[in-house]
Chains A and B, each alone.
Chain A
Amino acid sequence: MSGSARDPRIDHDVVWVVEDSAEDAEAIQRALGRTHPGLTLEFTDRGAGVAERLLEAARRPGLVLLDLKLPGLSGAEVLRSIRSMPELNDVTVVAFTSSTAPDEVDATYAAGADSYIYKPVNFELFTTVLKGAVDYWQRRAKGGDEGPAAQPPSS
């Protein structure tokens, strides 16, 4: 995120995944395990309490992958509760859904998502999409968007 003073409690190598489908959670684990073996993934299958746990976490994740279709507290509601806490401004939230319906996209942005990612069916494509999202936000977190400049060693 672009917060001027970065949150020292954020660990950009930690990703929280809020996903109720066991198959999708397994696919995310498999895909990111392949492309980003260095990431620590933490899974939760419901939205209730996610924002509060983020607030309390000693190591806050740099990225939250949020499924929009959750039982109980919906993805959009989780998003709104995270965004209602200014302490969590530096946590990037990527909404992850199987819908490309424009109304849903608009509503998700309005609720404060940093990215809206379409969840493909094909696993290879799924891996590519996840990798694209994680790479993008990791580059951003490491200042990769600030144009040509000397960088710490990469890979």
Chain B
Amino acid sequence: MEQHEGRASSRADDGWWSSRLHELWRVSDRVQDVAELADSLYGMLLRMPGVLAVVGARWSGGLLHYLRSVTLSEPTPSFMEVEQEFGAAAAEDPDGDPPVTVHEVSELDGAMPHVQLLVAAGARIVAECAVPLAQGGWVSFMVATAERAAVDVTLRSRLKQVAEVTMVSDRRLMARREDELRQVSDAFLAEASLQMDSSLDVERTVRRVARTAVPAVAEGCVVHLCLPGGLTPVASSHMDAGEQQWLGAVAAEDLWLTHVLEQVLSRGQGRVLHGDELEGGPFGAASSGAGRAVRALSVNPLRARGRALGTLTFLYHRVVIAESASRFLADLAGRAALAIDTSTLYEQRRQHVVSLQRHLLPSELPRISGLTLSSAYEVGDASLDVGGDFYDAVSGAQDGVTLLIGDVCGRGAEAAALTGLARHTLRTLLEDGGPPEHALGRLNQALLREGTSRFVTALVAVLVRDGKGFLLRYWSAGHPAPLVRRADGAVEELTAHGDLLGVLEDIEYGSGSAHMAPGDALVLFTDGVTEARAADGTFFESCLRDTVAQQGAGAAEGFAERLAATAAGFRATGADDIAVLVAQAEVVA
């Protein structure tokens, strides 16, 4: 019976239906979102004989996201956002082929919003067809009629046909969207890494992460770091400048959020929260204020080298995006954590280098009557390795001073250890009043005993009172020859060769002596000075004498600093550190 009536009533519009269906297939190929099919799809079903209303419901588990509906009295499609949890029993997850089921409206739960729409349209019988969606959840199409007879084979098969178009279109869209998301994710990761690497300051790095991600990933982003006072927000950004402040306050004060973050941190696993999982917090449809637009939240732990550094949180105004991106979020969190960790390590290391370097050089030079001492140290490259240059000044028993300068080849931890050994060995022996050859010999033995492959150059200069000036005697172990700047500006080189330390058992020193009159200056330096190289390839050595002549014309205090600064300014290449030590005999009035 039913079947025959159905055929008879619909035969006339078979042609109309198939042309509309064909059109729907064609459109489905172009749409960006399966929801764009809604208008034609709902209109087609509404034109079927006996149909009072068409209602669509978008579900994820027991969570009803929204409803779409058309009725005979209101044929323009209307949209109603719900975002309410009705429990898993409220709706059944479809699988495989979309089946069509038929219900009496009176048997359905009248409290459900879609049932209310059906009742309002005067429906008694409803034919339902649910389509699983590739991004999770499903959409259920309900066709409402006044009587069971209207739900004939034609209506059922047509309902099934539009459901199939929706399903196929959705799968195609999802595949395309996943492909796009992958492309966009890869591009984002690459650009975010670039932004992160452009700063070694932790706070700036973190702020860049938060900035790059909005709105590429989500509408809002917050980064918390584990600081001594606990989990602390260090950066937040929101699509809307007007909501930055709100987000900052939530990030700093909200207890619900703090709890979620701590949980994620202790489990070490990212989480996406939506629907009723947002309950009790400042987000979601049930909340008030700016958080109301937030549909989903993702939280990922920031971990690098086994340490928990903090959390990366995103706020989404659309739920779909958060669901499909967990791998990408974990990836992003991993890269952000590495960038933060690198910045933190860099800062720690810089502190260590600064303090180590401080220990390798004298904190201050002694005051020697009749002499003005000055010294300078310029770090050669920014790689954070401790350099191997050292110098010191030991006041003599009588009037006078013993100066020492040296250079351990190479940089880094081993060079730093040898630099400490060299400076302290020489200093201790010279303080005890031992002869310089002896001190250098002991250092040579100590270096050989260490079995190091590094060699050391060093020079010891002893200045003792001699009339109005000083008598200078010096011993060099392979160190660059010192200069004496005479009071009149003439510059002389003191010949000094000698063997390197740490290579041979028996060494010979290059030694000599000179007289220093009042106003004369002894200039000791390391090879970083002579080997500083300008962009055109010339070495500073070629203009060292002139520079010493010029810079020595100024005040005795600061002579070494001026010379070192000139060499450093000259340098375009050459990563060696520069050390300069100057003793200038005072002019007695």
Nearest B residue to A1 via CB reads B242
A136 & B77 in contact (Cβ 8 Å cutoff): no
> From residue A113, how far is it (CB to closest CB) to chain B in Å?
6
B240 & A124 in contact (Cβ 8 Å cutoff): no
> From residue B188, how far is it (CB to closest CB) to chain A in Å?
6
19 extra interchain contacts, Cβ-Cβ under 8 A, other than A147-B293, A153-B76?
A: A113-B241, A114-B240, A114-B242, A116-B241, A117-B215, A120-B187, A120-B216, A122-B190, A124-B184, A125-B184, A125-B191, A132-B219, A136-B240, A145-B293, A148-B83, A149-B81, A150-B79, A152-B78, A155-B35
> From residue A65, how far is it (CB to closest CB) to chain B in Å?
13
Most buried by B among A113, A115, A125, A133: A125
Partner of B240, one of A140, A149, A154: A140
Binds A, one of B205-213, B418-426, B456-464: B205-213
A124 & B204 in contact (Cβ 8 Å cutoff): no
Interface residues as binary, A101-122 with B (CB distance below 8 Å gives 1, 0 otherwise):
1100100010001111110111
Jot down 24 A-B pairs with beta carbons below 8 A, ordered by A: A100-B208, A100-B211, A102-B211, A105-B207, A109-B241, A116-B237, A118-B211, A118-B212, A120-B188, A120-B216, A121-B191, A122-B183, A122-B188, A124-B180, A125-B184, A129-B216, A136-B219, A146-B292, A147-B285, A147-B292, A148-B83, A150-B79, A152-B78, A153-B77
What is the bound-complex CA distance between A100 and B204, given in angstroms? Answer: 9
A154 & B79 in contact (Cβ 8 Å cutoff): yes
Question: Is B109's CB within 8 Å of the partner chain A?
Answer: no
What is the bound-complex CA distance between A122 and B237, given in angstroms? Answer: 22
| Nearest 9 CB-CB pairings of A with B | A132-B215, A122-B187, A125-B187, A100-B208, A148-B81, A100-B211, A147-B292, A102-B207, A145-B293
What is the bound-complex CA distance between A120 and B188, given in angstroms? Answer: 8
Partner of B239, one of A102, A136, A144, A146: A136
Question: Is A139's CB within 8 Å of the partner chain B?
Answer: yes
Question: Is B36's CB within 8 Å of the partner chain A?
Answer: yes
How many A residues are at the interface, by size bracket? Answer: 35 or more
Question: Is B32's CB within 8 Å of the partner chain A?
Answer: yes
What is the bound-complex CA distance between A89 and B80, given in angstroms? Answer: 30
Question: Is A151's CB within 8 Å of the partner chain B?
Answer: yes
What is the bound-complex CA distance between A129 and B187, given in angstroms? Answer: 12
How many B residues are at the interface, by size bracket? Answer: 35 or more
A151 & B188 in contact (Cβ 8 Å cutoff): no
Question: Is A84's CB within 8 Å of the partner chain B?
Answer: no
Question: Is A35's CB within 8 Å of the partner chain B?
Answer: yes
Partner of B317, one of A105, A116, A139: A139
B215 & A136 in contact (Cβ 8 Å cutoff): yes
Partner of A35, one of B32, B184, B203, B215: B32
Partner of A151, one of B81, B203, B212: B81
Known contacts: A120-B191, A122-B190. The answer to whether A132 contacts B241 by CB under 8 A is no
Please give the residue numbers on chain A whose beta carbons come within 8 Å of chain B beta carbons, in ascending order: 2, 35, 100-102, 105, 109, 113-118, 120-122, 124-125, 128-129, 132-133, 136, 139-140, 144-155
Question: Is B244's CB within 8 Å of the partner chain A?
Answer: yes
Interface residues as binary, B305-325 with A (CB distance below 8 Å gives 1, 0 otherwise):
000000000000100000000
Interface residues as binary, B28-68 with A (CB distance below 8 Å gives 1, 0 otherwise):
00001101101100000000000000000000000000000
B292 & A115 in contact (Cβ 8 Å cutoff): no
> From residue A81, how far is it (CB to closest CB) to chain B in Å?
18
Measured between beta carbons, the chain B residues less than 8 angstroms from A2 are 242
Nearest A residue to B33 via CB reads A155
What is the bound-complex CA distance between A149 and B290, given in angstroms? Answer: 16
What is the bound-complex CA distance between A29 and B152, given in angstroms? Answer: 50
What is the bound-complex CA distance between A152 and B184, given in angstroms? Answer: 31
Nearest B residue to A130 via CB reads B215
What is the bound-complex CA distance between A132 and B188, given in angstroms? Answer: 14
B216 & A100 in contact (Cβ 8 Å cutoff): no
Nearest B residue to A92 via CB reads B240
Partner of A100, one of B212, B285, B317: B212
Measured between beta carbons, the chain A residues less than 8 angstroms from B80 are 148, 150-151
Question: Is B195's CB within 8 Å of the partner chain A?
Answer: yes
What is the bound-complex CA distance between A151 and B285, given in angstroms? Answer: 15
Measured between beta carbons, the chain B residues less than 8 angstroms from A101 are 204, 208
Measured between beta carbons, the chain B residues less than 8 angstroms from A100 are 195, 207-208, 211-212
> From residue A28, how far is it (CB to closest CB) to chain B in Å?
15
Nearest B residue to A93 via CB reads B241
What is the bound-complex CA distance between A153 and B244, given in angstroms? Answer: 30
What is the bound-complex CA distance between A122 and B187, given in angstroms? Answer: 6
What is the bound-complex CA distance between A145 and B293, given in angstroms? Answer: 5
B285 & A128 in contact (Cβ 8 Å cutoff): no
Interface residues as binary, B211-252 with A (CB distance below 8 Å gives 1, 0 otherwise):
110111001000000000000000001011110100000000
Nearest B residue to A140 via CB reads B240
Nearest B residue to A118 via CB reads B212
> From residue B532, how far is it (CB to closest CB) to chain A in Å?
33
Nearest A residue to B203 via CB reads A102
What is the bound-complex CA distance between A139 and B204, given in angstroms? Answer: 31
Nearest A residue to B82 via CB reads A148
Known contacts: A120-B191, A151-B80. The answer to whether A109 contacts B215 by CB under 8 A is no
A105 & B187 in contact (Cβ 8 Å cutoff): no
B32 & A124 in contact (Cβ 8 Å cutoff): no
Measured between beta carbons, the chain B residues less than 8 angstroms from A147 are 285, 292-293
A102 & B242 in contact (Cβ 8 Å cutoff): no
Nearest A residue to B31 via CB reads A155
Known contacts: A35-B32, A124-B184, A145-B292. The answer to whether A151 contacts B79 by CB under 8 A is yes
Partner of B184, one of A109, A114, A128: A128
Measured between beta carbons, the chain B residues less than 8 angstroms from A132 are 215-216, 219, 239
Measured between beta carbons, the chain B residues less than 8 angstroms from A121 are 187, 191
B188 & A125 in contact (Cβ 8 Å cutoff): yes
Known contacts: A133-B239, A147-B293. The answer to whether A124 contacts B211 by CB under 8 A is no
